[in-house]
């Protein structure tokens, strides 16, 4: 393990900024992310013989997602596991769930909880897995994945997730877990 230098210990010294994804049909993919996930196209252009489209949902970020042409046909192994997006609450999560279900190009829709989140998973038009999640107030040991029913009311859904999470190792309030992680990471 490398020793941490003082400038790397600073809060926000390293923050996930964006993700680049090679795609086959850049126009279809850009339209999908704009229509289903409310991204805004911020820029587009060419890099050599590749086309690139920049998308963002944050006005302070030029791009959170870069779509780059050139994904090879016939490749069956996708190097990308998933693209994950955090939302603030169940209302927004459910809105994206409905929006994604209404899109003819998505596949493999599922709703699940990891105890520390409530998530939806689906595949975009080219098979990349998308996760949209909201944090719960709890932490428990991972991995954990249980199916959930988003048609349940907020209180009922959260109570069922808490009940399952509370039976798992390391169950604790998220804030307590985060404090342990701050100490572990020597994060100021």
Which pLDDT score is estimated for 81?
Answer: 66
Using the predicted structure, report yes or no on whether residue 8 has a pLDDT greater than 50: no
Domain co-membership, 31 together with 93 = no
Share of the chain above pLDDT 70, in %: 86
Residue 46 inside a domain? The answer is yes
Residue 119 inside a domain? The answer is yes
Residue 53 inside a domain? The answer is yes
Band of residue 144 on the pLDDT scale cut at 50, 70, 90:
confident
Domain co-membership, 35 together with 67 = yes
Q: Is 115 exposed, middle or buried (0-12, 13-18, 19+ CB in 10 A)?
A: buried
Residue 147 inside a domain? The answer is yes
Domain boundary (33, 48, 72) is at: 72
Domain co-membership, 108 together with 177 = yes
Domain co-membership, 53 together with 113 = no
Determine which helix (DSSP H) or strand (DSSP E) holds 160, and give its type and residue range: helix 154-166
The residue-averaged pLDDT of 160-176 equals: 94
Using the predicted structure, report yes or no on whether residue 159 has a pLDDT greater than 80: yes
Looking at per-residue pLDDT, the higher value among 148 and 181 belongs to 148
Residue 4 inside a domain? The answer is no
Domain co-membership, 103 together with 167 = yes
Write out pLDDT tens, residues 146-156. Answer: 999 999 999 99
Where b means 16+ CB within 10 Å and e means fewer, 29-63 reads bbebbeebbebeebeeeeeeeebbbbbbeeeeeeb
Looking at per-residue pLDDT, the higher value among 65 and 11 belongs to 65
Residue 11 inside a domain? The answer is no
How far is residue 119's CA from residue 117's CA, in Å, rounded to a whole number? 6
Range of the domain at 45: 18-72
Domain co-membership, 167 together with 92 = yes
The residue-averaged pLDDT of 147-176 equals: 95
Domains in the chain: how many in total? Answer: 2
β partners of residue 50: 47
Write out pLDDT tens, residues 64-85. Answer: 898 988 887 776 655 576 888 8
């Amino acid at each position: 393990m490398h020793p941490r230098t003082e400038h790397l210990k600073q809060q926000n010294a390293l923050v996930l900024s964006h993700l680049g994804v090679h795609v086959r049909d850049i126009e279809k993919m850009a339209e999908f992310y704009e229509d289903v996930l409310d991204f805004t196209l911020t820029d587009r252009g060419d890099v050599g013989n590749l086309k690139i489209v920049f998308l963002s949902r944050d006005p302070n970020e030029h791009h959170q997602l870069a779509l780059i042409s050139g994904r090879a046909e016939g490749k069956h192994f996708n190097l990308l596991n998933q693209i994950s997006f955090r939302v603030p609450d169940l209302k927004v999560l459910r809105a994206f769930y409905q929006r994604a279900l209404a899109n003819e190009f998505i596949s493999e829709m599922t709703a699940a909880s990891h105890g520390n989140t409530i998530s939806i998973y689906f595949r975009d038009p080219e098979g990349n897995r998308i996760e949209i999640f909201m944090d719960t107030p709890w932490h428990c040991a991972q991995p954990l994945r249980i199916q959930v029913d988003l048609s349940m009311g907020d209180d009922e859904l959260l109570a069922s997730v808490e009940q399952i999470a509370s039976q798992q190792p390391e169950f604790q309030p998220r804030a307590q877990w985060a404090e342990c992680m701050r100490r572990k990471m020597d994060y100021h």
